[in-house]
Every structure is written in structure tokens, then in C-alpha cells.
Amino acid sequence: MTIKPIRNDDDLQAMFSQLEQVFQAQEGTPEADEMEVLVTFIEAYENRHYPIGPADPVEAIGRHCKKTCILFPKPSACRSITHWA
């Protein structure tokens, strides 16, 4: 197992490739240990460089309702659901 720090997006892609090779490892094996380390490194890098803030609940509900209106287009129901979003 050769694991290096992730310093840029190229390193991140290389780490994803390495993770793909051990992703289905059986628990308790060296490959499973490697997978845990890789996931920890990837999460740390992504949290630092690509943070995702908390979602606005009203916006999330509004988007969901609008998607629902696309799937089930009944105009009167859609207007009553999305008028506030």
C-alpha cells in the first residue's frame, strides 16, 4: 500500500483510481484497511477544497415540488405547491 498526500485534483483522481481497485474488499483484509485510509484522505481533501454548506430547507422543498410538478403536470396542484417557493 503506497499512499501519498493529496495535493491537487490530479492527486485526487489518482486516489480515486486506487480506491476503485480496493472498493469491494472484504472486511478485515489489508485491502479493506487501504480502502478506509483512502476514503479518509479523499474526504479530508474534498471537505477542504470543495465544501458543501447546509442546504436551505425552503429552497430544497421548493425544488423538489417543482420537479414533482414536471413529473405530474396538474397545473392547479403545482401552483398551490410552488407559489411560496
Res. 17: pLDDT tops 50: yes
pLDDT of residue 25: 94
Give the span between the Cα atoms of 40 and 11, in whole angstroms.
14
Give the span between the Cα atoms of 28 and 13, in whole angstroms.
26
Number of independent structural domains in the chain? 2
**Whether 45 and 18 share a structural domain:** yes
Q: Is residue 76 part of a domain?
A: yes
**Whether 43 and 61 share a structural domain:** no
Reported as a single tens digit per residue, the pLDDT across 69-80 is 665 555 555 555
pTM, whole model, 2 decimals? 0.63
**Where in the sequence is the domain holding 73, given as residue range(s)?**
54-85
Reported as a single tens digit per residue, the pLDDT across 39-50 is 999 999 999 999
Query: Which DSSP helix (H) or strand (E) runs through 74?
Result: none
Res. 33: pLDDT tops 80: yes
Q: Is residue 1 part of a domain?
A: no
pLDDT of residue 22: 95
